[in-house]
């Protein structure tokens, strides 16, 4: 098999068995892979509950927490004073 065909087979097997984990990981980081994951889940007939639950956890818990920590650290008084001086 070619590399492309092996990649398709690998993705199909792993997405079928670990769909919740893959979608959660793709939803928790800001990248275009989440759109691709959504299309692939539709193609492979992943149940909506699995997709929605993983998306909810990835976006509302993990991604928001990472963004909050980034904003708090970036705009802390120490860093703002350093930039203004």
Tens of pLDDT along 13-28? 888 888 899 889 888 8
DSSP character string of 7-24: HHHHHHHHHHHSHHHHHH
Euclidean distance between CA atoms 81 and 3, whole angstroms: 52
Q: Which domain range does residue 55 map to? A: 3-84
Residue 46 phi, psi (nearest 5): -70, 135
Residue 82's Cα: distance from chain center in Å?
Answer: 33
pLDDT tens string 72-84:
888 888 877 877 7
Domains in the chain, number = 1
The pTM score is 0.71
């Amino acid at each position: 098999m070619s590399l492309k065909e092996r990649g398709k087979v690998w993705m199909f097997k792993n997405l079928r068995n670990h769909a919740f984990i893959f979608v959660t990981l793709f939803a928790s980081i800001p990248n275009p892979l989440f759109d691709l994951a959504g299309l692939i889940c539709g193609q492979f007939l992943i149940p909506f509950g699995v997709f929605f639950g993983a998306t909810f956890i990835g976006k509302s818990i993990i991604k928001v927490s990472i963004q909050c920590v980034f904003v708090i650290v970036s705009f802390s008084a120490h860093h703002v004073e350093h930039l203004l001086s």
